[in-house]
Structure 1
Amino acid sequence: MKIRQQYLKQLVESKDTEFIKVLTGVRRSGKSFILNMFRDYLISSGVELNRIIYINFEHPDTDDIKNFKTLNEYLKSKADESGKYYFLFDEIQEVENWQRVVNGLRVAYDSDIYITGSNATMLSGELATLLSGRYVEIKIMPLSFIEFCDFKNYHDDSRYGRYYQEYFEIGSFPSVALLQNETLTESVLKGIFDSIILKDVCLRGGIKDTALLLRIVRFLLDQIGHPVSAGSIANTLSSGGRKTTNETVDKYLDLLEGAFIFYKADRYDIRGKERLKTLGKYYVVDLGLRNVALGRNRGNVGAQLENVVYLELIRRGFEVTVGKLDDKEIDFICRNSRETLYVQVAYELPQNSKRETDNLLRIPDNYRKILITGNPMDSGVIEGIEIISVIDFLRGSLIS
């Protein structure tokens, strides 16, 4: 069994604290696997089985405990002794009024609580009110390139270019990485795509116009790396004969973000030092989903490279925005508690490399500036700007 060590480490470090641990992320990103991995850790650490109460609320056996009252009664029958209990709840948002259950366990028991969910809205509203800062979110993403290679037992240094191309094409869902058959891979990816759209967007958002939603999804997939707005999407759809409103598009965009299928990078004015509210960029959580929805050979490879870099940056804990510098654009401004980076992405470094470095050189501060390219041979420094290939970047070079 492959162990996703960085996530297990976060769970172990937060074990036996007062905080409720909330694992969020797109469907099939590995949340259930990681929760089970932690369950195995508890058992190997000497925790008695009857002290671990694990429930997967998407399993048919749990159909009769899908509301506050029945779940509460079930838990009382299982946790009927004094002492510490570990509660592990998978996809708990399937339970009506689940927030009350979680808060009740926190108050009534010596408890350590772990929950997973495939929708960002589970951390808003009543849960935030009830817990008021007593939870920690652990964001689970599909596999990094390093994890992808580990899952597939790829460790030949001379073949990382081929490994990357496969990662680029089939994406990073754990269940997909373990497959060997191309036809099966496409079938599984299509199943994941349909499941996210139907269960986590349409069903949860009460959307009946699935055709309109799919048009918006395909528009976003086709426009990766380009600034978009609800208005520009509505206008494009209307010009194609499908009338809709900005408000409807906004609602659908919020639901798609909430299901973690898309991430939005806001624009940031470097000179004005403020976040802008218009024309952000959207990036898909997994390029395999894009390829199965649009076809592998469709679209701008440079924009897809930008998508790969964006995902890796947020995977490493950066807050990422798109930089605006007068009339120029910086692909990414990356901030965490330790540093600020400026990152430009280019599919290839042309002979006149100043075209790719000029925007970075215009920035009036001394934070690190990095150019990431799709050429595995690119490396070095140009006028203080660090040049690195995407493969070296994904393998951990330069950016911690």
Structure 2
Amino acid sequence: MAMLNLIPTEKIIERLRYENPWWITKEIPNTYSSMSKRLYFDLFYPFVLERSIKRALVLMGPRRVGKTVMLFHCIENLLKEGTNPHKLFFIGIDNPIYVNLSLEDVLTLCKDSLNLENLNGCYVFFDEIQYLKDWERHLKVLVDSYPETKFIVSGSAAAALKWHSTESGAGRFTDFLLPPLTFQEYIHLKKLDHLIFEGDIQYGDKDIKYCLTHDCKALNKEFVHYLNFGGYPEVVLSEKIQGDMGRYVKNDIVDKVLLRDLPSLYGIKDVQELNRFFTYIAYNTGNEFSYETMSRESGIQKDTLKKYLEYLEAAFLIKVLNKVGVNAKRLKRITSFKVYLTNPS
């Protein structure tokens, strides 16, 4: 920990204690415990408990979809199931106080602050992991060095996460994608579950479970509202944000990805060109494109276009759909494709 002298060790330990109040209170902050769990939680939590496979769990997804809240809900469940509070660590890597510290340095400070002999049986949550340079190498070393410790990390700059976790973490990381809210989750968060019920429909000779409604008109009204506001939990639950939706999405989500995350991750120099290209896609979402027509209409070189599409899709801002044949394989000779915004709001 050669760089520790930049910030006093006591200050860093003080921050760790602040981020981990359950070391004393044995419960997570009310800010998080009062929030409803996303329906994806039931799919994610078993991966947190999985210890037979020595892998770190990487929670990926767009900005503002509830990744940090899901980590706190995992900690809450572990506490309720009897896990020792001193075996649970949460570290927000985006905090400047951790600059120049490796993940192992932070772990050592956690261990020292609680006078632990080892980290066996511990759960370690690193939030916003992409702010640490070469995070995947650090994490891979930790997985190998601490086989009895479970590591769970999250990050919003999914372009880096997706690429690095597959390139450098082969056999060490399990990826889990948390998308924007589905319509079913929107109904759940709005406490409108009474509008739908589980039924069956006949498909061939099989009965398939299906969601049906008591009130189609009311459900359609909520669906329109979902299309306008429903992708982000914070927006769904705040009428104030809904009143200025454009500023929220632009400032908190799109601009931070386009103007900060992607340029810093990929060394993009012409940020305005990327911003202009995304605006072009937004106004033409759902249309059929080819690289030739897209290049002609946007004024951007084809090779650059391909990179921009790759970056934007990795950051979960868009989804590119290619034509496929009857065997579900991509048609190689067909050059046209469609591009959709991942979140209509």
Trace 1:308-387 onto structure 2 (pairs within 5 A).
none
Q: Distance in 1 between matches of 2:327 and 2:245?
A: 46
Output the CA distance in 2 between the equivalents of 1:230 and 1:142: 28
Change (3 A) 1:237 1:124: closer
**Residue in structure 2 matched with residue 2 of structure 1 by the alignment:** 36
| SS, match of residue 289 in structure 2 | coil
Structure with bigger RCO (C-alpha 8 Å, 6+ apart)? 2
Return the alpha-carbon distance in structure 1 between the equivalents of residues 311 and 330 of structure 2.
26
Indicate conservation of the 8 Å contact 1:266/1:279, yes or no.
Answer: yes
Paired residues for 1:23-38 under 5 Å: 23-38=59-74
What are the residue-to-residue correspondences of 1:76-155 with 2, within 5 Å?
A: 76-79=108-111, 80-82=116-118, 83-109=120-146, 110-118=148-156, 119-125=158-164, 127-128=165-166, 130-154=168-192, 155=194
Task: Give 1:241-260 correspondences, 5 Å limit.
Answer: 244-260=300-316
The 1:129–1:213 alpha-carbon spacing in structure 2 relative to 1, beyond 3 Å, is closer
Q: Secondary structure at the match of 1:278?
A: coil
TM superposition shift of 1:141:
0.7
Mapped to 2, the partners of 1:245 and 1:14 lie a distance apart of: 44
CA distance in 1, matches of 2:298, 2:130: 33
Looking at structure 1, the residues matched to 177 and 327 of structure 2 have their Cα atoms a distance apart, in angstroms, of 31
Which secondary structure does the structure 2 equivalent of 1:217 belong to?
A: helix
CA contact (8 A) 2:130 2:160 kept: no
Task: For residue 135 of structure 1, report the CA deviation from its aligned partner.
Answer: 2.1
Structure 1 match to 2:282: 221
Query: What TM-score do the two structures reach when normalised by structure 2?
Result: 0.74
Could you tell me which of 49, 67, 75 is aligned with 2:107?
75
Percent identical pairs in the alignment equals 24
**Kept in 2: contact 1:29–1:173 (CA 8 A):** yes
Q: What does residue 190 of structure 1 align with?
A: 250
In structure 1, the residue corresponding to 2:340 is in which secondary structure? strand
Given that 1:4 and 1:147 are in contact with CA atoms closer than 8 Å, whether structure 2 keeps it comes out as yes
Alignment partner of 1:63 out of 89, 93, 96? 96
Judge conservation of contact 2:71–2:125 (CA < 8 Å) in 1: yes
| C-alpha distance in structure 2 between counterparts of 1:270 and 1:16, whole Å | 37
Aligned mates of 2:47, 2:96 — CA distance in 1: 33
Q: Residue 122 of structure 1: CA displacement?
A: 2.2
Q: Deviations over 1:356-391 (max 9, x none)?
A: xxxxxxxxxxxxxxxxxxxxxxxxxxxxxxxxxxxx
The structure richer in strand per residue is 1
The separation in 1 between residues aligned to 2:271 and 2:135, in whole angstroms, is 28
Query: Gaps spanning 5+ residues in structure 2: where?
Result: 1-34, 196-213
1:178 alignment partner in structure 2: 237
* Contact persistence 1:176–1:189 (CA under 8 A): no
In 1, Cα distance between equivalents of 2:308 and 2:243:
31
For residue 14 of structure 1, report the CA deviation from its aligned partner: 4.8
**Is the CA contact (8 Å cut-off) linking 2:48 and 2:152 kept in structure 1?**
no
Distance 1:98 1:166 in 2: 39
Measured after TM superposition, the shift of residue 149 of structure 1 is 1.9
Q: Partner letter of residue 98 of structure 2?
A: I
Inter-partner Cα distance in structure 2 for 1:78 and 1:222: 48
One of 273, 277, 292 as aligned partner of 1:231: 292
1:183 to 1:10, Cα distance in 2 relative to 1, 3 A: closer
Question: Structure 1: which 5+ residue stretches go unaligned?
Answer: 239-243, 289-400
CA distance in 1, matches of 2:339, 2:154: 24
Read off the aligned partner of 2:182 and give its amino acid letter: S
Select the residue among 90, 112, 132 that pairs with 1:54.
90
Runs of 4+ in 1 over 4 A off after TM superposition: 271-274
Partner Cα distance (1:103, 1:215) in 2:
37
Matches of 1:6 and 1:252 in 2, distance apart?
Answer: 29
Q: Are the counterparts in 2 of residues 179 and 185 from structure 1 also a CA contact under 8 Å?
A: no
Q: 1:148 to 1:273 in 2, by over 3 A?
A: closer
Equivalents in 1 of 2:325, 2:57: separation in Å? 35
* Residues in 2 aligned to 1:128 and 1:13: alpha-carbon distance in whole angstroms: 18
Distance of 1:72 and 1:136 partners within structure 2: 20
